[in-house]
């Protein structure tokens, strides 16, 4: 079996560092809000080039807490992409606001910047771009629009840890960056975890309070908050992996390079690197009219494959009634012919060849 992502090989490579880090936490018996989280936050903030980073329980919570800390609430509209994981839109709904979906670019799969302005109404408060599959969104384009219309921008960086635009990290380019440390992410822990990065001291202070029961001093509560803390074991694991994340991302890019040339020769549409930033290939998503045939053959050959995403958000059951009049033809078309191939830092040339050979057989 060739998996989509091989966490076991990665663990074996880092075993002694990770086991030491975990056992130090176990020995310390400080499991919640301790030195590992504080140090990880500092190290992550430094890596991202922002003054503040706040760990939390998941990427979904990072989005929720960031939107709440930014003051977005009922009757507000937030412009985002329909081609993402549901959490992006869920978080907008958690604060009572309305997701407004704008279509995507058919080659990068990111928000189509030239369609954002048409979606702005008097209720629009924010733009929430997603650096999808690890490719940075054209943030200069997004920020020009948000500045012109006095909107906030919050980045969904769940899939883009380590991706940069001209040396500036995703998550450092707007009011807040929201990260997921789900195990399969480019920087992943061994459970759920998330983080918000911000350049704003006031957003930072709100985040500290919101993630910990609306409290800035123990047993004093100023607002209704949440239990959304990153725990010490996860932070200790993340500190180890942060040291390796650039190497991991380079290795992902190397896999993508090999896929690109071979798949292009087979007539498959490969993900376009638009040159705006460095793609870190959280996922490798290609397109083909023969998608279903390719996937059936990969499955038969015991090769991991998936569809990200089979149903755009405005067509999901939970949202369908509210967006019956919304037509986003590119997202709808891409969801019908896109497919994801295995990509992980430890992938060998032989494994890459196995995937490519199976696709050749499927369409041959």
Ligand X SMILES: Cc1ncc(COP(=O)(O)O)c(C=O)c1O
Residues at the contact surface with ligand X, assessed by CB under 6 A: 58-60, 84-85, 87-88, 130, 156, 158-159, 180, 182, 192, 194
193 vs 201: CA distance, rounded Å: 22
Q: How far is the CB of 61 from ligand X (least distance, A)?
A: 7
Q: Which is nearer to ligand X, 138 or 156 (by Cβ)?
A: 156
Beta strands in the chain (DSSP E): 52-56, 77-80, 98-101, 124-128, 152-156, 164-165, 168-169, 176-180, 194-198, 215-217, 220-221, 284-287, 338-341
Q: Which is nearer to ligand X, 48 or 262 (by Cβ)?
A: 48
Q: How far is the CB of 111 from ligand X (least distance, A)?
A: 12
Handedness of CA 27, 31, 34, 39 (dihedral sign): positive
Q: How far is the CB of 84 from ligand X (least distance, A)?
A: 5
Q: Which is nearer to ligand X, 25 or 130 (by Cβ)?
A: 130
- By beta carbon distance, the residue nearest ligand X is 59
Q: Which is nearer to ligand X, 179 or 262 (by Cβ)?
A: 179
Q: Which is nearer to ligand X, 180 or 198 (by Cβ)?
A: 180
- For 166: left if phi > 0, alpha if psi spans -120 to 50, otherwise beta; the answer is left
Helix, strand, or coil here: 199? Answer: coil
Q: How far is the CB of 335 from ligand X (least distance, A)?
A: 15
Q: Which is nearer to ligand X, 85 or 259 (by Cβ)?
A: 85
Burial class (CB in 10 A: 0-12, 13-18, 19+), 268: buried
88 vs 216: CA distance, rounded Å: 27
Query: Tokens representing 234?
Result: 């996860």
Q: How far is the CB of 132 from ligand X (least distance, A)?
A: 7
Q: How far is the CB of 60 from ligand X (least distance, A)?
A: 3
Torsion of CA 233, 234, 239, 241, to 10 degrees: 120
């Amino acid at each position: 079996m060739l998996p989509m992502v091989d966490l076991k090989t990665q663990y074996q490579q880092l075993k002694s560092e990770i086991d030491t880090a975990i056992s130090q936490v176990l020995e310390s018996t400080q499991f919640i809000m301790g030195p590992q989280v504080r140090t990880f936050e500092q190290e992550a903030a430094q890596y991202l080039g922002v003054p503040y980073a706040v760990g939390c329980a998941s990427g979904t919570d990072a989005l929720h807490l960031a939107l709440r800390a930014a003051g977005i609430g009922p009757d507000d509209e937030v412009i985002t992409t329909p081609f993402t994981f549901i959490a992006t839109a869920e978080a907008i709904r958690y604060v009572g606001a309305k997701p407004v979906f704008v279509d995507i670019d058919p080659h990068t799969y990111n928000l189509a910047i030239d369609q954002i302005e048409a979606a702005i109404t008097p209720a629009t408060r924010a733009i929430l771009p997603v650096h999808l599959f690890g490719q940075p969104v054209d943030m200069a384009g997004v920020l020009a629009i948000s500045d012109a219309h006095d909107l906030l921008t919050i980045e969904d960086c769940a899939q883009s840890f380590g991706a940069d635009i001209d040396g500036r990290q995703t998550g450092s380019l707007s009011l807040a960056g929201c990260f997921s440390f789900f195990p399969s992410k480019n920087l992943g822990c061994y459970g759920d975890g998330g983080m918000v990065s911000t350049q704003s001291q006031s957003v930072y202070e709100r985040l500290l309070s919101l993630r910990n029961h609306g409290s800035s001093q123990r047993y004093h509560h100023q607002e209704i908050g949440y239990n959304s803390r990153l725990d010490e074991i996860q932070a200790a694991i993340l500190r180890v992996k942060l040291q390796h994340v650039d190497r991991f991302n380079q290795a992902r890019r190397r896999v993508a390079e090999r896929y690109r040339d071979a798949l292009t020769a087979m007539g498959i549409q490969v993900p376009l690197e638009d040159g705006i930033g460095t793609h870190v290939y959280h996922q490798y998503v290609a397109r083909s009219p023969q998608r279903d045939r390719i996937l059936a053959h990969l499955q038969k050959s015991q090769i991991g494959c998936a569809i990200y995403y089979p149903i755009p958000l405005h067509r999901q059951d939970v949202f369908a009634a509210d967006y019956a009049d919304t037509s986003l033809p590119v997202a709808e078309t891409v969801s019908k012919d896109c497919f994801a191939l295995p990509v992980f830092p430890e992938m060998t040339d032989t494994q890459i060849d196995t995937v490519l050979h199976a696709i050749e057989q499927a369409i041959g």
